[in-house]
Amino acid sequence: RRLALAEERHLPAETLDGHRIVLRANVATPAEARAALTTGAEGVGLLRTELPFLNHPSWPTRNQHAATLVPVLRALTGQVVTARTLDFADDKLPPFLAESREGRRLGRGLPLMLAQPDAFADQFRSLLSAGADTDLRIMIPMVASIDELRACRRLLQAAAAEAGVPTPPLGIMVELPEAVAAADDLAREASFLSIGSNDLTCQILGLDRRDPTATPAMAAHPAVLDAIARVVTAAHRHNRQVSVCGDAAAHPFVTPLLIGIGCDSLSVAPAALDEVRARIRRIRHDTCVSLAAIALTRETPEEVRRLVEQCCQPSL
């Protein structure tokens, strides 16, 4: 079956009734970048940049960023690359931040980075230079407020001016309830929005990221779907595209709901691309819209799962 799905790689991720979804890949390494292109991804929807530094003793320097970014971005020449800035969160805290009181209290990297503007600027400089031959977009994780987005934009603009290049589009990840609440303001000023359903699901349902019950299927909880729907409405009001780059994007019961809610793009692991594309090509958009509307009136993820099962019998 895998082979049969691979034969659809050159075909668009389009529903039976002609609704197009942009399908991108989540990558962190050159091998994953190559796998993404082999499997027909329309570029990268999430480049995780913090993974090489989880055991690092200090903020990475510009050269240390370059050493990890150059090989992966070289493999993506000419492609859309949505590069996420360092996301040192609760489950991904390097030793030098695990010690910091603020790091432990917040469990979020963005305030820590904004408190170290030189370290942040070094990553922007490195991204602008290493990504010069890609269609580069910059994405900020764990954004909670418009002030944070503005502070990031000032640093990025300064780095771009210094390098003498245009400022690339600057988007945000929506993975905190604060960002859902501020979605309208954030959508006005962000170039694009991407839903980090892994964290957003845990945040909304009060689950620890390391809790084994915090699965991608839990994104089918109506409270999570409702949050995503609010973000999509706000984003489209301001003509911004919304992507989902958490693992729920590739989950059989959740993909149709995300499409029905109006997400424009999905970004999934390279190994899941064939399957997600095939799933999209075997459903109708109008069915997804009806499903999503009913799902929002349900109370538990199990009820939502049964609803999707009855309607789509997802075999992919």
| Nearer of residues 39 and 197 to ligand PEP, judged by Cβ | 197
Which of ligand PEP, Mg ion, none does residue 179 bind to, with CB < 5 to 8 Å depending on kind? none
Which of Mg ion, ligand PEP, none does residue 50 bind to, with CB < 5 to 8 Å depending on kind? none
Under rule CB under 5 A, how many of the chain's residues touch Mg ion? 3
Q: Is 175 among the residues that bind ligand PEP (CB under 6 A)?
A: yes
In the complex, the smallest distance separating the C-beta of residue 198 from ligand PEP, rounded to whole angstroms, is: 3
Pick the piece of the chain touching ligand PEP (CB under 6 A) from 104-112, 122-130, 197-205, 289-297.
197-205
Q: Which long-range contacts (CB under 8 A, 24 or more apart) does 210-219 make?
A: 210/91, 216/246, 216/247, 216/248, 216/250, 216/251, 216/254, 217/248, 217/251, 217/253, 217/254, 217/301, 217/305, 218/301, 219/246, 219/248, 219/251, 219/254
| Nearer of residues 47 and 159 to Mg ion, judged by Cβ | 47
Distance CA 31, CA 25 (A): 12
Q: Is 198 among the residues that bind ligand PEP (CB under 6 A)?
A: yes
Give the pairing of strands 170-174 and 193-195: parallel
In the complex, the smallest distance separating the C-beta of residue 199 from Mg ion, rounded to whole angstroms, is: 4
Which of ligand PEP, Mg ion, none does residue 267 bind to, with CB < 5 to 8 Å depending on kind? none
Q: Is 131 among the residues that bind Mg ion (CB under 5 A)?
A: no
Among residues 48, 65, 240, 285, the one that binds ligand PEP under rule CB under 6 A: 48
Q: Sketch the per residue contact string, 161 through 200, with Mg ion: x for CB under 5 A, - otherwise.
A: --------------x--------------------x--x-
Q: Which of residues 272-301 bind Mg ion (CB under 5 A)?
A: none
Q: Is 247 among the residues that bind Mg ion (CB under 5 A)?
A: no
| 76, burial (CB in 10 Å: exposed 0-12, middle 13-18, buried 19+) | buried
Q: Is 227 among the residues that bind ligand PEP (CB under 6 A)?
A: no
Which of Mg ion, ligand PEP, none does residue 245 bind to, with CB < 5 to 8 Å depending on kind? ligand PEP
Q: Is 246 among the residues that bind ligand PEP (CB under 6 A)?
A: yes
Among residues 32, 122, 148, 199, the one that binds ligand PEP under rule CB under 6 A: 199
Q: Which of residues 71-90 bind ligand PEP (CB under 6 A)?
A: 87
Q: Point out which residues bind ligand PEP (CB under 6 A).
A: 46, 48, 87, 175, 196-199, 245-246
